[in-house]
Every structure is written in structure tokens, then in C-alpha cells.
Amino acid sequence: MNRLLEPLADLGHVVLSALARLGLVGRFFLGILAVLWLPIRRFSLLVREVYFSGFRSLLIVTVSGLFVGMVLAVQGYEVLQRFGSAESLGVLVALSLVRELGPVVTALLFAGRAGSATTAEIGLMQATDQIAAMDMMAVNPMARIIAPRFLAAVVSVPILACLFISAGIFGSYLVGVQLIGIDEGAFWSQMQASVDFRLDVINGLIKAVVFGVAIGLISVFEGYYAPPTAEGVSSATTRTVVVSSLAVLMLDFVLTVWMFRGLS
Amino acid sequence: MTSNANPALVRLEAVHFAYDERPILRGLDLTIAKGEVVAVMGGSGSGKTTLLGLIGGRLLPQSGAVMVDGKNVPTLKRAELYRLRAKLGMLFQFGALFTDLSVFDNIAFPYREQTNLPEPMIRDLVLMKLEAVGLRGAAELMPAQLSGGMARRVALARAVALDPMLMLYDEPFTGLDPISTGIVARLIRRLNDAFGLTSLVVTHDLDSSLKIADRVVVISEGTVYRDLTPEEVRETDDAFVRQFADGLPDGPVPFHYPAPPFIDQLVGRHEQAS
Amino acid sequence: MKRSKYDLAVGLFVAFGLMSLVFLALKVGNLAGYDSGDGYRIEARFDNIGGLKVRAAVKSAGVVVGRVEAIVLDPETYEAKTVLRLDPRYRFSKDTIASILTSGLLGEQYVNLEVGGDSVYLGNGDRVVKTQPAMILEKLIGQFLYNKAAENTGSK
């Protein structure tokens, strides 16, 4: 009897602890929001974190964008030319980048490049008592350490997404127009005619902001609650990447359904 | 015993504390008078470090009062707690220096965060503190470049930066060579007397404690087991204190973690519920 | 010093971001065009809109002059009621004909406005009276076959 019920009890335990963790994340999030004024008032704190998470991700994001755009151009052309509408390549590339690939791939790259680093840094600060020391010096670590890193992610991801999309479109221009020889005028004008600034670009940026919030929250949370051991910090870092990626993809689905319902 | 001469700065009354279900402190009473250096000793896991957490307000007791400078710490709101902590200095076990800041910036940190002093004045103050711990020449080094003893001294300089009234030391001698241990011990005493501080040193290094402390408090089973002067410690024949003083492996503090009889486990008579 | 290094790098970073946003707005998107949010709305009813979607282009002489803002079915007449938002720079006469055309053989469908000769212009909330529904390929083929059949029986 006991043996039979054991898996069920395990499942219940897993669900309960997952829910408890979610509640903890929620409380932690509110805690961050309550002290978010500090990195805004003391701007240099924010600038430093944007440097480490945003500026340092610049290269990987733009280079990835360039190549994603180039690949899209090759694959898109391959399909479009069968229907004799190769000039629509610009539309295809721009819409895929602006609406989906830009925010999503940027967020995934950011989680791997900057989110994991943030988790490791905060986890180590926790393990070496640096956060406790700050707390004992009557300096609130939530405001001084956590909030700037969270806000930096929220600021950086949309900026990086813009750069990723621009680099991608430039890449597809290089391949489509310069290499394959699609008419340049058609490439740009068709793109302009079907990419709407508010509905496509702004929605894409809203996605990027939401992803930034998710990654920022997950990476500081995992770091803050990482067990103070080498193993604890390393598994927290891994978890940041895994959980962030899943969160980004799930949020993307929800946001896409919400933003583009009823549209083609 | 100097506890009656001066008013009490720290007073713990019937403090109970447990991590989850595991009781650590069971009705502990302890009074520390202004100006004293008190060494708290006890085996690992006896609740020495917990004591510091309670005084600093990082841990909350299940019951009992923790009075620091006339305020009951567990009842303070965050802002009041921070106002109190601004008057406390704490030296963490391994220094807990901010690894992304240089030695200079580490010591400047409390001034920059807590005061509005102009940068030139901060610079002078930092150099003064560094001079006091003999590391003015190391100002531009990063914490990773320091030896354990140097890091501990820098952390000490940072902890006393804002001239606290109470200094808390968590295992200040752990992992130091004998020379560094001596330096840190002497610094603790000298800073205490020079700046009129009160110091609580949690340690298991009896030799160093005896050199610098006014009182040695031995904790066991979650309460104060003995409260002695250094002279009394040297002369006592209490088995528990002797074990500490002489570093004996077995005695009242058992060598073995509680376990079922070994022979039972070997032959599998005792079934473990795992 | 250290701080100014961060400031410079982050300043550059944000500037790059803004530049690419401007690129997205002007070169990729159509912010420079008509779609600034304002404009006036006219209504057009069609028997059948085919595959017309919300946000499809409204063109006149091939130039984009507006967007389809809403499509609903009128529950009484069973006509498709569309709301078109037009660029205030362009004005169209009262007897303008609205039709649904397809760009290319398989392209997107859009609303075409063909200007008439009336001297009175359409204003906000006005309705285009003359409309032509979308051409449905199946219907067209059906009609063609029917005509052919009729021709054949007629000639026999």
C-alpha cells in the first residue's frame, strides 16, 4: 500500500514545493519593486550593471543577429522564389525578426551570457558573506545589489533586441540584395509596406521588455537563494539558463496570442 | 569580573532559538558591559555564530529578549534595525570583502553609503584606518591579491570605519597562521581600548582569547556553561573547559557524532530509515 | 577613470540602441508614412471581403493612403462593414469607388479607392456608397464554367 502511494506523495511534494518556490519568487519580486527607486536615483549603480550585462553582450548579439538574418534570407529566398515572389523576402525576414526572432533569440542569448553571470556573481557574494556583510553595514543589499542588476536586464534586453533585429535585416539585405540580386527597391518598399511600427516593432519591444523582466528576476533570484557551496552556485547558474529559456518561450507564446490575435 | 562596573550594552535574556526543529539556544542569558572584550567559546554547532546573528538582527529568536543599547532587536522595524546596525561593526569569518572593489574602495564603502562626506575627506579617513591596521601600502590591491591575514585586517578596518559602539567578531582567527593570529588578536584588543568599543569575539581559539579577553564565556547545550576570567580558565579543573584548553579529542564533547552502536550497524541489526 | 569608462560604454550602447530603433522605425517600418495614429475614418460596406484582413492597406493609384481598421458583419444586412482609416493629407470625393483587389496573383488583398468627380469630399464617419466586393476565385471559375456550358448548349 505504502509503495503504491509513494509516487503520488512524491508528486504532491514536488507540486507543493514548486508552488512554495513560486510564492517566494513573487515575494522577492515585490521586494525588488519596493527598492527600485535606488538604482534610478543613484544612476551610476545602474550604469555599471548595464555595462556588464548589456554592453558586454553587444558583440554576441549583433553577430548572431547578422547570421540569423543571412540564414533567413537564404532559406526564405529558396521558398519564395518557387512562388515567384522573391521580392517579398524583405517582408518575410523583417516580420520574423521584429515579431519573434529578435526578442526571443536576444533573450535566450542574454540569459546565457548575462543572466548566468549575474546568478554566479550574486551566488558567490552570498557564499562569501558579502551580502550579509553589506546588510550588517546597514546597507540594504536588495536595493544596492539586487535591484540594479534586475533593472539592468530590463533595460538591456530591448536595446539588444533592436540591435539584433537591425543586424538581422542588414544580414538579409547583404545576402538577398547584394548576393542573390533581389531588386533593392522592392526589398525595402515591400518591407516598409507591411511592417507596422506600432503593431510590429512596438509589440516586439514590449516582448523584449517582458523577457528582460523575466530573466532579470530569475537570475537574481537564483543567485540570492543559491546554496552557499560551489555545487549550489553552479547548479543555480544552470537553472537560471534553463528556467529563463523556458520562461521566455512560454511568455512568447502567451504574448503572441495576446498581441497578434485576429491579425494575419 | 567587570560586568557590574559599567552599564550593560548587550543583554540576552532567556533566548530560545531553533533552526526548523533543531534547537540551538535554550534559554541563554548573557550580559556584556560597555568596554569589555568577551570571548564566546563552544564546540562547532553550539550556537556561537547564531548568537552574533541574533545580536545583529539577522536571526529572530523564538522567544526571549535581545537588548542592544537599550533596544530589543527582534522587535525593531527595518529602518530602526538599520539605524542600530550603523552603530555595529561585524567582522565575518573570512572577511567578506567586496571582491569587485579594491581595498581602498572596500573601506570607503561605509563612508560613501552612510555619510555625505566629501571624497577628499573620505580618502583621508580610509588611509587613516588602513594605517591603523598597517596596510596603507595595500590600498590599491584587489581582495583576491591579499593573504588571509591581510584580508582579515582590511575587513577589520572596514568594520570599524564608522566608529561603532559594538564590534562582533565571527571566528576572527580561523585559517590564519600564528603570526597573523597574533596580529589580529592584538588589533582587536587595541581597537577596543583605543576607540572605547565593546567587543564580542566568537572563537574556538582559546589561546588567543585568553590573551585579549576580559571574560571567557563557554556555551554548551544552548546555555552559558561557564563564565570565567582568563585566570580562572587557566586554573579550572572543569572537564569540559579543560578539554577546550588542552585540545583533547574526546571528553565531555564526544568525538563521535551520535550513532547507533557500530557493531549493530555492521551486522545489519539496526535498520536505518532513510 | 573607471566610472567614466562605464559611462562612455553605456552611453554608446544606448546610442546604438536608439539608432537601430530609428532604423526600424523609418527604414524597416512605416512610421515616416501615414501611420501616425491620427487620420479620419470612413466606412465601406462590401458584399464579400474575401480574404481582407484588419490592418490591410488602403491604396489609391497604388499609393498606400490608409489602413483597414475594423471588419465586422452587419447582423441585419449581412454585409461586411469595414472601417478605413485614411491619411488626412489625402481627400476623396463622395462618389469614390472602393473595391477589394489582390496585389499579384497570390499577394495580399487590399482596398482600392478610385476617385470620382464629385466636388464634395468624404469626411470623418462618412460612408463610401459605391463598393465592389472581392473576387472569389471559386466563384469566378464556377461562373466561367457555367458560361462555357451555356455557350456550348446555345451553339448546339
Closest CA to A109 of A203, A206, A241, A207: A241
Domain extents in chain A: 45-251
> What is the interface size between A and C, counted as CB pairs within 8 Å?
90
The whole-number pLDDT of residue C94 equals 87
Question: Chain A contacts of C3, Cβ < 8 Å?
Answer: 44
Is A91's pLDDT higher than 80?
A: yes
Same domain, C64 and C98: yes
More confident position, C135 or B64: B64
Same domain, C1 and C63: no
Write out pLDDT tens, residues A153-179: 999 999 999 999 999 999 999 999 999
- Stated pTM of the model: 0.80
Same domain, C15 and C82: no
Closest CA to B155 of A148, A128, A225, A123: A128
Sign of CA dihedral C6, C8, C13, C14: positive
Same domain, C26 and C98: no
Question: Chain C contacts of A193, Cβ < 8 Å?
Answer: 30, 57, 64
Same domain, C48 and C25: no
Same domain, C12 and C83: no
The whole-number pLDDT of residue A264 equals 45
Same domain, C29 and C87: no
Cβ C27–A188 below 8 Å, yes or no?
Answer: yes
Question: Which residues of chain C fall short of a pLDDT of 50?
Answer: 1, 34
* Closest partner CB to B56 (pick from A129, A130, A136): A136
Same domain, C64 and C122: yes
Write out pLDDT tens, residues B78-87: 889 998 998 8
3-class DSSP assignment, residue A241: helix
Q: Is residue C149 part of a domain?
A: no
More confident position, A101 or B134: A101
The whole-number pLDDT of residue C105 equals 65
Stretch among A195-204, B51-60, B76-85, B247-256 having the lowest mean pLDDT: B247-256
Same domain, C126 and C74: yes
Helix axes A203-224, A147-173, angle to 10 degrees: 140
Cβ C28–A198 below 8 Å, yes or no?
Answer: no
The whole-number pLDDT of residue A120 equals 96
Q: Is residue C148 part of a domain?
A: no
The whole-number pLDDT of residue B24 equals 85
The whole-number pLDDT of residue A167 equals 96
More confident position, A252 or A191: A252
3-class DSSP assignment, residue A164: helix
Same domain, C20 and C87: no
Exposure pattern of C124-156 as b/e (b: 16+ CB <10 Å)?
eebebeebebbeeeeeeeeeeeeeeeeeeeeee
Q: Is residue C153 part of a domain?
A: no
The whole-number pLDDT of residue B270 equals 53
Q: Where are the beta strands (DSSP E) in B52-105?
A: 63-68, 71-72, 88-91
Q: Which chains touch A (3 or more CB pairs under 8 A)?
A: B, C
Report residue A127 as a C-alpha cell.
Answer: 557564499
Same domain, C53 and C122: yes
The whole-number pLDDT of residue A125 equals 93
Q: Is residue C156 part of a domain?
A: no
Query: E strand or H helix at A54, and its extent?
Result: none
Cβ C13–A55 below 8 Å, yes or no?
Answer: yes
The whole-number pLDDT of residue C67 equals 83
- Rounded distance, CA B126 to CA B147, Å? 20
Write out pLDDT tens, residues B234-243: 787 777 777 7
Q: Is residue C68 part of a domain?
A: yes
Write out pLDDT tens, residues A184-242: 888 888 888 788 888 889 999 999 999 999 999 999 999 999 999 999 999 999 999 99
Q: Order across the sheet with B166-170: list the strands.
A: B88-91, B166-170, B198-202, B37-41, B215-220, B223-228
* Closest partner CB to C21 (pick from A48, A162, A195): A162
The whole-number pLDDT of residue B260 equals 77
Tally of structural domains, chain C? 2
Is B269's pLDDT higher than 70?
A: no
Which residues span the domain enclosing C125?
40-142
Q: Which chains touch B (3 or more CB pairs under 8 A)?
A: A
Indicate which of B85, B146, B166, B168 best probes the interface with A, i.e. most A CBs within 10 Å of its own CB: B85
Is B254's pLDDT higher than 70?
A: no
Q: Which residues pair with A237 in a beta bridge?
A: none
Write out pLDDT tens, residues C84-96: 988 888 888 888 8
Give the minimum alpha-carbon distance from A31 to chain C in angstroms, rounded to a whole number: 27
Same domain, C4 and C51: no
